[in-house]
Structure 1
Amino acid sequence: MPQATYQGVLRFEDIEIEVAILEDGQRVITQSGFMVGLGRTRPPKGRPYYKSGTNLPAFLKVQNLEPFIVEDLVTAAHQIEFRTKSGAKAFGYTPEFLPEVCRAFARAQHAGVLKAAQHKIANRAKTIAEQLERSFTMRLIHEATNYQECREKQTQRNPCRYEE
């Protein structure tokens, strides 16, 4: 199981999402950070967040969102099991998952099919999407984890252990 070598937080106004770069160079958005960032602070009863394999979070499996869940979102939902810098077991998603979820909520909101409880998630997703439009997700992860500083030093004297 790969270990995180860099960890940090993406900030989108008042929204924070934990991210990491694993020892194999893989970038991940932590599952807990993703859920908290979208306003889902705890798992639904009887269903923990931390379940490995490819599956969508329960809040994306609801009937009114079904028409807006595209194949790219399902593919990006593959969970990545890893260990945090402190050694704790964690799960994450590829960086592509976050913008795909934001697009799904934007499509559902535009179609007018969101239920009252989903508007908070849609609003947070909109804030994130607007910030992502102005930035590149990988660059944001590098900045949040200070990985970019390491890469810049690497070009000067190669002190970092991992390369992209």
Structure 2
Amino acid sequence: MAEDHHSKGGHSRAEKLSAERRSDIARKAAASRWGNLREAIGHEGSLKIGNAELACYVLDDETRVLSRASFVRAIGRTGKVKGGRKFDDEFQTPVFLSAENLRPFFPSDIEDNSKPIFFSDGASEMIGYRAELLPDVCDIFADAERAGELRSNQKHIAEACRILSRGLTRVGIIGLIDEATGYQNYRAANALARVLEKFIAKELQPWVKTFPEDFYRELFRLRGIKNPGTTFKKPQYFGHLTNDVIYSRLAPGVKDELSRTTPKLPSGRRKHHLHRNLTPELGHPKLREHLASVTTIMKLSNGYGDFIRKLDQIHPRFGETIPMNLNDWDSD
């Protein structure tokens, strides 16, 4: 009898729980089952595709997700999103993919993409799906429709997926979410950091003669200054010219990072040569390569203005004359 009493009491308490509270308990239980909640980076983005509007996020492990509620609305399912999910022997199947007639059209990676992701947006707990699931679902319904396997109650989903597919590709979804959430700026900053890591050494490198004498001979000539001969005592402003024609055009962000990491003496001169902060593996070889090209352009120029015009055509300043295409540098 005691067991019946406790059982009845448990049912009574469950009935008194609000729908919101029950949903919260279920959500936390699910989160416990599939691991700790992940965190979203930045704010929610709004991704508009056709007539659909999807809430999207980038998580702290760089996974791009779409909120489950907006996902199911976008594919034409109406009504409240159910908290429960159907399970089978192989993997956790979203309700909208649970019909057996769709199974033959599942791609090989559907198991990973269809698992719900539990995360926090900083204010509340959320459930989402990997962004890659959206084009998967569109393909599944399109393939089933072409094969004549769709049921009548699935045709409206196929139509919604057809509209989504017109403005969506599997590769493009990542870029669209990055733009909507502002993650593209974070991604660019990360890419630039990786470029600088390859170019800028963590420790000061030994001095090695790097700038050829021809570079300074040509710089004197182009500036209309008498060549001082073997002493090569250079005007102080030659440092500014070198920053412009060499370091500003060597690689994205390199000039600013070299200036930041190379202290100045009270006289205004640098404590040591900028190139001693370049990595021997990439930074220094790229500098030598760039110097050879710039010196050749100098020899083909009639004056400093002519030289800069030619240099701007061949080696524009990064971030000014041309955009900084980090993909050209952030590679193995």
TM-score by length of 2: 0.41
Match of 1:48 among 70, 83, 88: 83
Does 1:80 find its partner at 2:117?
yes
Does 1:14 find its partner at 2:27?
no
**CA distance in 1: counterparts of 2:149 and 2:109, whole angstroms:** 21
How far off is 1:26 after superposition? 2.0
Whether the aligned pair in 2 keeps the contact of 1:30 and 1:90 (CA below 8 Å) is yes
Identify, as 1 or 2, the structure richer in helix: 2
Does 1:118 find its partner at 2:154?
yes
Q: Secondary structure of 1:92's partner? A: strand
Identity of counterpart residues, as a percentage? Answer: 32
* Alignment correspondent of 2:75: 38
Q: Secondary structure of 2:92's partner? A: coil
Identify, as 1 or 2, the structure richer in strand: 1
Q: Which runs of 5+ in 2 are unaligned?
A: 1-36, 193-252, 257-332
How far off is 1:35 after superposition? 0.9
Q: Secondary structure of 2:134's partner? A: helix
**CA distance in 2: counterparts of 1:72 and 1:64, whole angstroms:** 18
**CA distance in 1: counterparts of 2:188 and 2:103, whole angstroms:** 43
* Alignment correspondent of 1:66: 103
Does 1:2 find its partner at 2:38?
yes
**CA distance in 2: counterparts of 1:71 and 1:151, whole angstroms:** 29
How far off is 1:40 after superposition? 1.8
CA 1:64–1:82: 2 relative to 1, 3 Å = same
Q: Secondary structure of 2:93's partner? A: coil
CA 1:66–1:50: 2 relative to 1, 3 Å = closer
Does 1:97 find its partner at 2:99?
no
Q: Secondary structure of 1:108's partner? A: helix
Whether the aligned pair in 1 keeps the contact of 2:135 and 2:170 (CA below 8 Å) is no
How far off is 1:120 after superposition? 1.5
CA 1:30–1:90: 2 relative to 1, 3 Å = same
Does 1:29 find its partner at 2:61?
no
CA 1:90–1:123: 2 relative to 1, 3 Å = same
How far off is 1:143 after superposition? 1.3
Q: Secondary structure of 1:8's partner? A: strand
Report the number of matched residues: 153
Q: Secondary structure of 1:122's partner? A: helix
Q: Which runs of 5+ in 1 are unaligned?
A: 158-164
How far off is 1:134 after superposition? 8.9
